[in-house]
Amino acid sequence: MNSQKTIIVTGGAGYIGSHTIIELLALPNYNIVSVDNYSNSSATTYSRIEMITGKKVKHYAVDLCNKKETESLFESEKNIEAVIHFAAFKSVPESVENPYKYYSNNINSLINVLECCLKYKVSNFIFSSSCSVYGNINELPVKETTPLGKAESPYAFTKQIGEEMIKDYARANPQLQTIALRYFNPVGAHISGFIGESPINKATSLVPIITNTAVGKIKQMKVNGSDYATRDGSCIRDYVHVTDIATAHIKAMYYLIDKKNKSNFSIFNLGTGNGVSVLEAIAAFEKVSNEKLNYTIGPKREGDVEAIYSDNSFTEKHLDWKPIFNLDDMMKTAWVWELEQKKENQKS
Ligand code: UDP
For 247-290, how does the pLDDT look when each residue is reduced to its tens digit (9 = 90+)?
999 999 999 999 999 999 999 999 999 999 999 999 999 999 99
**pLDDT class of 303 with cuts at 50, 70, 90:** confident
Å from CA of 205 to ligand 1 middle: 5
In this structure, is residue 153 part of a structural domain? yes
Q: For position 317, what pLDDT does the model report?
A: 97
Rg (CA), the chain: 19
Edge-to-edge strands, sheet with 5-10: 58-61, 30-36, 5-10, 80-85, 124-130, 177-183, 265-270
In this structure, is residue 100 part of a structural domain? yes
State the CATH number of the domain containing residue 15.
3.40.50.720
Residue 221 and residue 87: Cα distance in Å, rounded? 28
Q: For position 50, what pLDDT does the model report?
A: 98
Whether the Cβ atoms of residue 12 and residue 59 lie closer than 8 Å to each other: yes
Is the distance from the beta carbon of residue 301 to the nearest atom of ligand 1 less than 6 Å? yes
In this structure, is residue 221 part of a structural domain? no
Q: Does residue 339 surpass a pLDDT of 70?
A: yes
Is the distance from the beta carbon of residue 224 to the nearest atom of ligand 1 less than 6 Å? yes
Mean pLDDT of 6-14: 98
Is residue 155 part of the annotated active site? The answer reads: yes
Is the distance from the beta carbon of residue 123 to the nearest atom of ligand 1 less than 6 Å? no
Is the distance from the beta carbon of residue 209 to the nearest atom of ligand 1 less than 6 Å? yes
Mutate to test the pocket of ligand 1, among 234, 278, 282 (most ligand atoms within 8 A of CB): 278
- Structural domain containing residue 63: 5-189+239-271+312-323
Residue 25 and residue 49: Cα distance in Å, rounded? 10
What number does the ligand 1 atom closest to the CA of 131 have? 25
For 221-239, how does the pLDDT look when each residue is reduced to its tens digit (9 = 90+)?
999 999 999 999 999 999 9
In this structure, is residue 232 part of a structural domain? no
Indicate the pTM of the whole model.
0.97
**pLDDT class of 203 with cuts at 50, 70, 90:** confident
In this structure, is residue 145 part of a structural domain? yes
The percent of residues in the chain predicted with pLDDT above 70, rounded, is 99
Whether the Cβ atoms of residue 251 and residue 198 lie closer than 8 Å to each other: no
Closest CA to 31 of 1, 58, 70, 49: 58
Is the distance from the beta carbon of residue 235 to the nearest atom of ligand 1 less than 6 Å? yes
**pLDDT class of 345 with cuts at 50, 70, 90:** confident
Q: Does residue 129 surpass a pLDDT of 70?
A: yes
The letter for the amino acid at 309 is Y
Q: What angle do CA 229, 230, 236 make, to 5 degrees?
A: 125
Cβ within 8 Å of residue 78, ≥6 positions away = 6
For 154-176, how does the pLDDT look when each residue is reduced to its tens digit (9 = 90+)?
999 999 999 999 999 999 999 99
In this structure, is residue 281 part of a structural domain? no
In this structure, is residue 278 part of a structural domain? no
Mutate to test the pocket of ligand 1, among 301, 302, 309, 330 (most ligand atoms within 8 A of CB): 301
Calculate the average pLDDT of the chain: 96
Q: Does residue 1 surpass a pLDDT of 80?
A: no
In this structure, is residue 280 part of a structural domain? no
Structural domains of the chain, count = 1
- What are the Cα distances from residue 269, in Å, to 70, 90, 128, 142, 183? 29, 17, 11, 9, 6
Mean pLDDT of 297-324: 96
Q: For position 2, what pLDDT does the model report?
A: 57
